[in-house]
Amino acid sequence: MKSKKSVIVFSCIAGILFIFILVNFIFFRNRSNSVRPKVITPISSDSQNNKLSDNDVVSEEASITTFVPLHSTETLINTLNVDFDGDSLDDQIVAVHKADSPFIFLIVGLYNSESNSYDRFAEISTEIAKIRTFSYSAIDMTGTHKTALVYQGVKSNSDSVMKIYQYEKKGKRGELLPIGDFSSDGTIFIQQTERSEAYELSQAKGASYKVWVYSSDKTEENVDSTSGVSQIQTEYSWNEEEQKYTQSKQFRITGSRLAAKELARIQNGNVDTFAEYLNGLWYKTANAGSEPRYIYFNYATKEVIFLSDGAEGVYSWEESNLRRSGIYLTVVNSIISSMKRRFDIMLTGVNEVYVHVRDNIGMVIKETNQWDGTYKKMSFQTTFIDEKKASSGEEFLKELTSGEPWVDSEGNKISFNKNEYIYEYSDKKDVGMYISQQVGSYAVMQFRSDENSGLLNDAYSMKFETTEVPVKQTRKNAKPKTKTVVNKNIIHFTPVNLSPDTCYVTEGRILTLQRESSLDTKSKAQ
């Protein structure tokens, strides 16, 4: 009897051990076959860099990880944690790259509280292959406290694209509804506005956001000096009845003839030509604050630098797309890759552009953008590049006080005597004091009118007229050379604002003064 009981006990123990070993075998086999997501660092992509190499993969200890199960052919790019289905539990939306496709995919993973895991709810195939131009975020677009998924970027044909999706409860599983689909050869952005305090407290609905789309005017067949260049601005609003964004307004923005003439010169279908035109420092003509704003373009190093209030932000120049009246740019912050800015630059005159700057940093962007506005190109460079030694203030003062009067481009006379000036402008006469000094590398003259006439600015940077003259070559087939010739009979006065160690171009009339005797000589020669 005891032996039978022993056999039964041992049989039970053996059975339990067998089941334990079997469970562990299955568990570890599944674990070994499970996909561990790879994490990549976004890189600048062009036609040759759309594929991800093994060198792009970083360790599993990286900050970016996913709870959504991925396939073996999927490589993780980024993750976004957000309550997408409105159940007060965080879901996860991941961006991946598939081995068999050059495009970026978005996978929506919904949290399942019963299984304590994330289910693959939907898969979105984007039209974007260039990682550095791609971004996605979660925004309440309609003001109904429903989170919408928004992604945007640049397609392979250089068109901008933006698509908006929203979760809709239908049955047990729900449905992913496309509520916005926009594509343009220009810029696309969401116009986010202030919402009420009641909305912030979830006590009321808020105003829906609008979508603005800028595109070239396809009706213009030719752009020349006799016709303006135009741009189409289309506004899309949330349509409650149709449950999607529909067109609400459309404007035609006509450029000036001057812009068209300039465009014909620099926009020849080559991005390099327009980029060379942008190279240099641009200043905003109207600033809300006391501090001026500057944008510096450097196409050689593929950098765009924003300067304001003594601070600078450096962005890498990623994407350039020409349009009929200007150019679109996509730039990425050199430190924080998720911070992207999109430029819509439109020619409005010679050395003058109008700039739209749109941020995409995953936060609410108010209607007022301090970087938007008209910019003019500086007539001289500041401290960004090495410069030749400029003429000193004493050198200009010596020429101006030689005893001869000077004449501006409109024929008005101005004379300098010691520290006093007399400016005869049309039927007006301005008398005051002046002082010449060196500010940094610039020769500057300050004026103070006795009458407060306002005919002259407070300060000007001075520069002699220079021309490039070919140098006669002594050898045949030698490369042509030129030399810079300084004409001290012509001085350019550029309005500036002063700081302790430099000066900045500001609004005002540029004066070109020419020695009156040189005008007489020129007329006699003719």
Q: Over the stretch 472-499, which tens digit does the pLDDT of each residue have? A: 766 666 666 777 888 999 999 988 887 7
Of residues 165 and 356, more confidence is placed in 165
Q: Is the pLDDT of residue 502 over 90?
A: no
pLDDT of residue 124: 95
Per-residue confidence band for 290, with pLDDT thresholds at 50, 70 and 90: low
pLDDT of residue 82: 92
Per-residue confidence band for 260, with pLDDT thresholds at 50, 70 and 90: low
344: closest CA among 362, 364, 324, 316? 324
Q: Which of 2-11, 90-99, 269-278 has the lowest mean pLDDT?
A: 2-11
**Alpha-carbon distance 135 to 361, whole Å?**
9
Structure tokens at 178: 């496309």
CB within 8 A of 118, min separation 6: which ones?
67, 68, 69, 91, 92, 109, 110, 111, 112
Q: Over the stretch 162-214, which tens digit does the pLDDT of each residue have? A: 999 999 988 777 899 999 999 988 778 788 778 888 898 888 999 999 998 88
Q: Over the stretch 430-440, which tens digit does the pLDDT of each residue have? A: 899 998 888 87
Average pLDDT, the chain: 76
313: closest CA among 344, 367, 357? 357
φ/ψ of 204, rounded to 5, equals -155, 165
pLDDT of residue 288: 57
3-state secondary structure of 146: coil
Q: Is the pLDDT of residue 252 over 70?
A: yes
Per-residue confidence band for 28, with pLDDT thresholds at 50, 70 and 90: very low
CB within 8 A of 283, min separation 6: which ones?
292, 293, 294, 375, 376, 378, 504, 505, 506
Q: Over the stretch 64-78, which tens digit does the pLDDT of each residue have? A: 688 899 999 999 998
**Alpha-carbon distance 142 to 257, whole Å?**
40
Chain centroid to CA 308: 15
Q: Which H or E element spans position 21?
A: helix 2-33
3 state SS for 324-339: CCEEEEEEEECCCCCC
pLDDT of residue 362: 47
pLDDT of residue 323: 67
